[in-house]
Every structure is written in C-alpha cells, then in structure tokens.
Amino acid sequence: MIKPIRFLAAIILLSLFSAFVLPANAADIVIVVPNSLTSVEGNTNSMHPFDIAEVTPTITAERYQQIYDASQFSALPPGGAYLTKIAFRVGASGSAFSATLPYVTISLASAQKTSSLPMTAQNPGGLSTTFADNGYGYTTVFDGPLTLNSAATGVPTKAFDIVITLTKPFFYDPGSPAKTNLLLDLTTNAINSAVSDKTTPFDANSDPAGVISSVFGDMNSPTAQPNNLRSLGLVTQFTFGTPAPTAPKLISITVTPADVGVCTNQLQQQLTQFTATGNYDDGSTKDLTASVTWSCSNLPLLPLRPPLATINGQGKATVSGNIGDQCTIIAMLGSVSGSAHWK
C-alpha cells in the first residue's frame, strides 16, 4: 500500500512534469486576420474566390487577390517566420460541404504599403485593378486540384477547419525592409454545373479601416473591373512554423573511372569496378553505386562481335574488345544519368 504522503508527492511530480511537456506543434504561431475576429464572426460572407460555381452571372475562371495589413502580424518573431498553412471558416449563411476544385494556383507575395498608396476605403489596401501592380516577389505555394471541406461546427463561431497546407512554405517578414503587407493571389477554375465544385459562402468582413481588402476578376484578363475592388476580404487563419526539411535534389551523376582503354590491337578482357556518385543541389554528394541501374551501350568495330561489356548491379563491368571498339557504361537513377566510356 502506498503511503498518503508518497502518493501525494507522486501526483505533484507528475503534474510538474506534465506542465513542461509541450505539444508537437507548440512552436506554431497561429494568427487570425483581422485579429479582432479571432473568436468573433465577420460581418458578412463571400463566395469569392472558392464558391464561384454559384456566382451569378456565370464565372468559370477567376483571379482573386487579398491584402493583409502588416500590423496584424505583430505576434511573429523579429525577422519573420515561415507560413505553412492557411485556413478559413464557413460563414453564418454557409453549411457543411466537401468539394474538389479542378485546378487552383495560390501564390503569396509582399505588398509594400507606401504613402502614395495608403489603405483607405476609397482605394482599399492600395490595391490596383491591374493585378500585376499589387505585389512583388511572388512565390507559388500551391498548384493543382484542391479539396476543401468543413463540418461547419463551432461556438460562438465556426471552426477554421477549411485548411490549405502549402506545398511550399512562404517566408514572411512584416517588418522588412519596411512595413510590408501580405498579398494572397489565387486563381481557380470551376464548372458551374458540377455539384462537386460547389463549396459554401465563407466568413468575411467588410473592413473600411483597411486591415483586409480584395480585388477579383476574369483569370484571363490582366485587370479587374473597378466595382470588383472591395474593402472586404475573407477572415483568414495563418499558421507559421518550422517547415518540414526538404530532401536535396539529385542533379547529376558522376561515373568513375570516366575512361577505360586498351592499348594494343589484340582482343583483351578487363574487369573494372565503376562507381556512381550523386551530386545534389545543396552541394552534397552521395555514393549511389548500389542504388543506380547500370547498363551498357555497345558499339563494336565489327558488327558480328559479341557485346563488348557486361555489368552487374554493383557496377562491376567485364569489358573486352580491340582498339576501335567502343562502349558506354551508364548509371541511371530516376531521370538522372551519368556515363563513362571504354574505347
């Protein structure tokens, strides 16, 4: 039987230990823009840009830009952080849904606020009806079919459960080199007759103060109509964190020895060990001798001769022939290859 004092001490120690165990995503910084709507419903809903399948008149391809004022990201550490996820929530008039949009491209960019382009109700966010004028340093963070869904649950507001995980994290610093706003640039295609394309109105906010604003138009046009420039935008949740490390990309393979030769005019046989070294885009190298697929391309001087070289899966080649005969030893991994020559 455990004595009461020892039992109490064990409980206290366990409590202290639990207090210092952080969840796996403890380093994430979650920011809702506008900040004031973290747990408050926005004052309107919007079908742009994700519910255009139900917009009248018909829209089948839209470009949408939304600006977020840099002041809303004050919770970020000095120097900025990587944005890894963007999330939205169903609006008051929306409902649960599941939909796959055929093709969506999402880019993020800096949108520097200047005195000549203030965020005002007349010209929200300094946005222009010419899409190309609204940002610089664009980075594509998602490209392809996009599946969205929501249970449309939560009190007092719906949960931010419409989550888009970026395929490429975006580094954002709201304070460098000056006050730099964040620009979301999204293009989407929808087939209005397809039920699978239809989502639901998202939570949005009409914001004359200029914290968020948007512009939208035909995806195939460089400009939007002036009445599509709005002091309104989607209430958005941003998750900043440490992106998963990306594996270095194999860019070339070096096969050694690069050349093997026979110096007499007599038929000779030679056993050679070839090695394959992978060269990666981060400057690193790796021995791939046992990982590549080895093959030989034989070019005997006399067409009736047997193959000049045979090679096994470990890079060991038996090469035989006379001067004038040629063969190429090839090492391939995926679509990347390297070669050596015997002559």
Across residues 108-132, what is the average pLDDT?
61
| Percentages of the chain per state (helix, strand, coil), in multiples of 5 | 10, 45, 40
Give yes or no for a contact between 139 and 166, defined as CB atoms under 8 angstroms apart. Answer: no
Of 195, 222, 241, the domain-final residue: 241
187-214, pLDDT tens digit by residue? 987 654 455 567 889 999 998 777 899 9
Q: Which residues pair with 104 in a beta bridge?
A: 144, 188
In a domain, 5, yes or no: no
7-16, pLDDT tens digit by residue? 444 433 333 3
| 130 and 267 belong to one structural domain | no
In a domain, 194, yes or no: yes
CATH number of residue 299's parent domain: 2.60.40
Better-predicted residue by pLDDT, 116 or 63: 63
Q: Is 206 exposed, middle or buried (0-12, 13-18, 19+ CB in 10 A)?
A: middle
pTM: 0.63
Question: Which of 185, 230, 216 shows the shortest CA–CA distance to 59?
Answer: 216
In a domain, 4, yes or no: no
Better-predicted residue by pLDDT, 183 or 195: 183
| 44 and 187 belong to one structural domain | yes
**pLDDT for position 114:** 45
Of 224, 241, 258, the domain-final residue: 241
| 223 and 281 belong to one structural domain | no
**pLDDT for position 180:** 83
Across residues 149-161, what is the average pLDDT?
92
Give yes or no for a contact between 103 and 189, defined as CB atoms under 8 angstroms apart. Answer: yes
* Distance separating alpha carbons of residues 113 and 180, to the nearest angstrom: 6
| 220 and 336 belong to one structural domain | no
Grouping H, G, I as helix, E, B as strand and the rest as coil, residue 321 is strand
Q: How many domains does the chain have?
A: 2
Please report, to the nearest 10 degrees, the dihedral formed by the alpha carbons of residues 192, 195, 196, 197 taken in order: 30
| 277 and 228 belong to one structural domain | no
In a domain, 3, yes or no: no
Domain with 53, as residue range(s), is: 25-241
In a domain, 209, yes or no: yes
| 236 and 135 belong to one structural domain | yes
Say whether pLDDT at 116 is over 50: no
Torsion-angle region of residue 117: left (phi > 0), alpha (psi -120 to 50) or beta? beta
Question: Among 69-78, 172-181, 247-256, 293-302, which stretch is predicted with the lowest mean pLDDT?
Answer: 293-302
**pLDDT for position 190:** 62
| 298 and 166 belong to one structural domain | no
**pLDDT for position 125:** 59
Say whether pLDDT at 37 is over 90: yes
**pLDDT for position 270:** 66
Q: Name the pLDDT band for 310 (thresholds 50, 70, 90).
A: low
In a domain, 6, yes or no: no
Question: Which of 152, 206, 188 shows the shortest CA–CA distance to 53?
Answer: 188
| 58 and 158 belong to one structural domain | yes
Question: Among 121-125, 241-245, 292-296, 337-341, which stretch is predicted with the lowest mean pLDDT?
Answer: 121-125
| 150 and 79 belong to one structural domain | yes
223-282, pLDDT tens digit by residue? 998 888 888 999 999 999 976 667 788 999 999 888 776 544 444 566 778 889 999 988
| 191 and 265 belong to one structural domain | no
Q: How far from the centroid of its chain's Cα atoms is residue 172's Cα? A: 14
Of 241, 271, 303, the domain-final residue: 241
Helix residue ranges, H only, 241-326 = none
In a domain, 14, yes or no: no
**pLDDT for position 322:** 56
| 152 and 261 belong to one structural domain | no
294-304, pLDDT tens digit by residue? 887 765 444 44
| 195 and 278 belong to one structural domain | no
In a domain, 54, yes or no: yes
Question: Which of 114, 125, 134, 123 shows the shortest CA–CA distance to 210?
Answer: 125
Say whether pLDDT at 74 is over 60: yes
Question: Which of 340, 266, 275 shows the shortest CA–CA distance to 309?
Answer: 340
> Which residue in the block uniquely carries the two structure tokens 């992106």?
243
* Distance separating alpha carbons of residues 135 and 138, to the nearest angstrom: 7
Across residues 335-340, what is the average pLDDT?
90
CA-CA distances (angstroms) from residue 136 to 79, 112, 143, 163? 19, 9, 19, 25
Better-predicted residue by pLDDT, 103 or 189: 103
